[in-house]
Structure 1
């Protein structure tokens, strides 16, 4: 993450803060300069009107008094309108043409603003005529002619003062606002950015997860959500690494395991020729079990690669599949666990034979491991298979009388490595079962209530079945 200067968020924030405050000061300056011009002209009219009203009581005005009056007001000519007559009170010389006429009695707000800026851009040597109401005696109006220069000079000086003060206020205010916003927003955002970059360098390192601050605002919520997202990503990466390690381990032992199983198959083929009814009955089942063991090794490796084969669906006698599971787990002669296959003999299901067998085997093996872990001999230990047809589909239940599924595991029950609540479990059995059922277009759920754990599977038929 490169080091930014003025082009970063902080610099832009400072610039925009100054710009907006200066814009606000301009809106203040415009009416202020118009008001200053009006007051300046009113002061000149008042001074000229009062002096002229006093002097007008005499028939003649001495030249020295006229010069003093003109000097005080800055005018070149002053006249009074007393209703019945109009009097020229003082005049330095015959004024040339007047370029601007200002009637203070008809001064609207917007007009005052426009004429103020017109004054600022008028040459200083031009003359302006200002008309206003008299302030004493019988004087109705005061009419003075004065050069634009003095007014323009004072207006420019006022503009410099107010703009200077405005600029200082803008800098101070902008700095305070900038420092406040930087402390409240920019620095926390920079911290979040650094945390994301730091986490991205090694997302599998849990120590790099951002630590949410105790802020109770939107940024605090963002930090909490980012921490939760990083934790979820960290767990997902660890699980994926676990799967990769599992696939690598299985691939290493797969070759040697195949050789061992092949040797066992040869021995069993020899046993088939022994004239013993028990051997002849059990040998084919043991061979089938060995074949499935090879297939399961491949299946675990396939799951680690997320490449499970699509189901090859056939019509199956569901009760026979349950009996095969019972034989493989050795539940027919189990001393403590009772296996109760209540599936109707005539019930048929449209499914892949091997994949459905794996699903039932995983579910029943989990139940066996849980029930065998119980040490109290008074407890009932039973596994029950139930099934039936509903419309164009079959439902199947696998239930046991164990302690059930802990509440903390139910949300992630069918995720890999999330349901290892029993000793020696890998956390893959339910994940594999859920994946195989979904491949058939079906669902598997944990039913609430009742003793122990009860899983319900719904398998729809194919369209052409």
Structure 2
């Protein structure tokens, strides 16, 4: 066994923990330095900027836009309704004039004992506000009241057409927007009496004045209705939508300032609509993120601790390695028996400390696959296991000629981690006499796939471990455990293209199975006759 050189120790001891930062750089950070979040001030500044940006003026806020849009839409609806309603007002005004003049004319004709005097005619014209009244039936036309001279008429209006709002809209707008003093001739039936047609002549000025007053009243009423409607819609939507959205926004801003504080996680209101679903999802996301950040800090702390341990452990192991080499030269039979195992264990420990930071990286190194005797490798695991748990029966039921295609060091770590977990589970019950404590490793092959089974007679895995079986820091079956053993084994098996699964776990029996396929053979290498299956890069 070779003693490591000082430069190797320095290189291993100064192995980078994360990225380009060295172990000494991590250690020199000091206890007051928050190495898990070196740029912690930057997120706080961003959160402060977000908090300031959240104070949006009413003119640019959703609530202000909602208020303006609602009022605008109500006004637009009133504007669209105004032309037909104004045409209807014009038809009613003309119809009222025609009905009043016809009624006055009938009363005048029915009550007059002699010829109708000029004063009576003038009074009727003045009271009704018209300049001419006539009545027509099937046989005769008669003037009820009017001037002696001929009147010039600018437009004739049939009440049938005037009572059609859509058709009368152009004339209504013409009356409202024109400043000329036109004379209108209006005719039509009154009170459903189709035998007589009444005719009046009326100036357009009073009609325009009435339309202007009506338009002003409609405008004021429209503003009032739009204000009331917008306010009602505003307060309803504010309570149902805007307020919950603001609450979620404030929660996100507060949470971004300190994701570690669980009190800042949004508490769902219990609504069963889309807002409630959004609150539930935001709450779940914030909780997951808080847990993930806590796990990330734990990993960072673990990486720093491992870096420190790795730095010093290499020096300690070097001394132990030197002492072990001296023990090999001892003539003591017991030392001769356990010396080679101790040397082998020390070599493996030094290799582990050299590569211990590999787990903190994105992934383990690629497996260096070779044909291995699985029986011999499991025997190495058994020798180590017997030292740790002498009271457990270790059975190696693998055939002496059974071979697998794998990385020797990584496969040892896989089987060793699984066996150590089983031994620890059964060691916890060492104070209970009469229990069978047995660990069995067996294997079988199906074609190009090797199946390795590791079973024990322990108490079985708890529910918490089953829920997070291969998750680091969550899949531990014992108090104080990290759960890294199963996570590392799972990662290494997947790197070989295989699978690690729990077959069964109950009181008295737990079994894990490793599915390990042989490495695929490169066709080009097979054609060229290379037995190792490698590919010549110069020709591929």
TM-score in same-fold range (> 0.5): yes
- Deviation of residue 196 (structure 1)? 0.8
Task: Select which of 515, 520, 526 maps to 1:458.
Answer: 515
1:102 to 1:379, Cα distance in 2 relative to 1, 3 A: farther
Residue 292 of structure 2 is matched in structure 1 by: 236
- Deviation of residue 343 (structure 1)? 2.4
1:193 to 1:134, Cα distance in 2 relative to 1, 3 A: closer
The separation in 2 between residues aligned to 1:138 and 1:420, in whole angstroms, is: 100
After superposing the two structures, state which structure 1 stretch, 450-459 or 134-143, moved more: 134-143
1:357-411 residue CA offsets vs partner (Å, 9 max, x unmatched) = 1111111111111110013222221112222222332222222222212223323
Residue 43 of structure 1 is matched in structure 2 by: 96
1:274 to 1:112, Cα distance in 2 relative to 1, 3 A: same
Matches within 5 A, 1:246-257: 246-257=302-313
The separation in 2 between residues aligned to 1:456 and 1:245, in whole angstroms, is: 32
1:118-170 residue CA offsets vs partner (Å, 9 max, x unmatched) = 33223351222222114487852112222222112112212222331232122
Given the alignment of the two structures, is residue 4 of structure 1 paired with residue 56 of structure 2, yes or no?
yes
Which SS does the other structure have where 2:509 is aligned?
coil
1:280-320 residue CA offsets vs partner (Å, 9 max, x unmatched) = 44323222211222233344422123342121111222222
1:11-53 residue CA offsets vs partner (Å, 9 max, x unmatched) = 0111122222333334444443332222111111111222234
Whether the 8 Å CA contact 2:153–2:184 is kept in 1: the answer is no
Given the alignment of the two structures, is residue 195 of structure 1 paired with residue 251 of structure 2, yes or no?
yes
Residue 240 of structure 2 is matched in structure 1 by: 184
The separation in 2 between residues aligned to 1:120 and 1:188, in whole angstroms, is: 49
Residue 20 of structure 2 is matched in structure 1 by: none
Residue 295 of structure 1 is matched in structure 2 by: 351
The separation in 1 between residues aligned to 2:192 and 2:496, in whole angstroms, is: 106
Residue 91 of structure 1 is matched in structure 2 by: 146
Larger relative contact order (CA 8 Å, sep ≥ 6): 2
Q: What 5-or-longer segments of structure 1 have no aligned partner? A: none
Task: Select which of 388, 392, 399 maps to 1:337.
Answer: 392
Whether the 8 Å CA contact 2:504–2:512 is kept in 1: the answer is no
The separation in 2 between residues aligned to 1:138 and 1:278, in whole angstroms, is: 136
- Deviation of residue 9 (structure 1)? 0.9
The separation in 1 between residues aligned to 2:90 and 2:350, in whole angstroms, is: 101
Residue 440 of structure 2 is matched in structure 1 by: 384
Given the alignment of the two structures, is residue 217 of structure 1 paired with residue 217 of structure 2, yes or no?
no
The separation in 1 between residues aligned to 2:192 and 2:300, in whole angstroms, is: 103
1:53-108 residue CA offsets vs partner (Å, 9 max, x unmatched) = 4445678532222222222332222222212222333334533341x332112443
Count residues in correspondence. Answer: 463
- Deviation of residue 334 (structure 1)? 4.5
1:463 to 1:141, Cα distance in 2 relative to 1, 3 A: same
Which SS does the other structure have where 2:472 is aligned?
coil
Which SS does the other structure have where 1:453 is aligned?
strand
Whether the 8 Å CA contact 2:184–2:203 is kept in 1: the answer is yes
Residue 67 of structure 2 is matched in structure 1 by: 14
TM-score (norm 2): 0.80
The separation in 1 between residues aligned to 2:222 and 2:228, in whole angstroms, is: 10
- Deviation of residue 271 (structure 1)? 2.5
Given the alignment of the two structures, is residue 364 of structure 1 paired with residue 410 of structure 2, yes or no?
no
Q: What 5-or-longer segments of structure 2 have no aligned partner? A: 1-50, 522-532, 534-540
The separation in 2 between residues aligned to 1:43 and 1:436, in whole angstroms, is: 98
Whether the 8 Å CA contact 1:125–1:147 is kept in 2: the answer is yes
Which SS does the other structure have where 1:399 is aligned?
strand
The separation in 2 between residues aligned to 1:320 and 1:34, in whole angstroms, is: 105
Residue 101 of structure 1 is matched in structure 2 by: 156
Whether the 8 Å CA contact 2:88–2:165 is kept in 1: the answer is no
The separation in 1 between residues aligned to 2:346 and 2:151, in whole angstroms, is: 125
Given the alignment of the two structures, is residue 148 of structure 1 paired with residue 204 of structure 2, yes or no?
yes
The separation in 2 between residues aligned to 1:141 and 1:448, in whole angstroms, is: 103
Matches within 5 A, 1:69-148: 69-92=124-147, 93-98=149-154, 100-106=155-161, 107-135=163-191, 140-148=196-204
1:215-259 residue CA offsets vs partner (Å, 9 max, x unmatched) = 333222222221211111111111111111111111112232112
The separation in 2 between residues aligned to 1:422 and 1:94, in whole angstroms, is: 117
Which SS does the other structure have where 2:444 is aligned?
strand
The separation in 2 between residues aligned to 1:101 and 1:448, in whole angstroms, is: 100
TM-score (norm 1): 0.92
Residue 286 of structure 1 is matched in structure 2 by: 342
Matches within 5 A, 1:304-315: 304-315=360-371
Q: How well do the aligned residues superpose, as a CA RMSD in angstroms?
A: 2.4
Which SS does the other structure have where 1:129 is aligned?
strand
The separation in 1 between residues aligned to 2:461 and 2:293, in whole angstroms, is: 26
- Deviation of residue 277 (structure 1)? 5.5
Which SS does the other structure have where 1:186 is aligned?
helix
Whether the 8 Å CA contact 1:29–1:163 is kept in 2: the answer is no
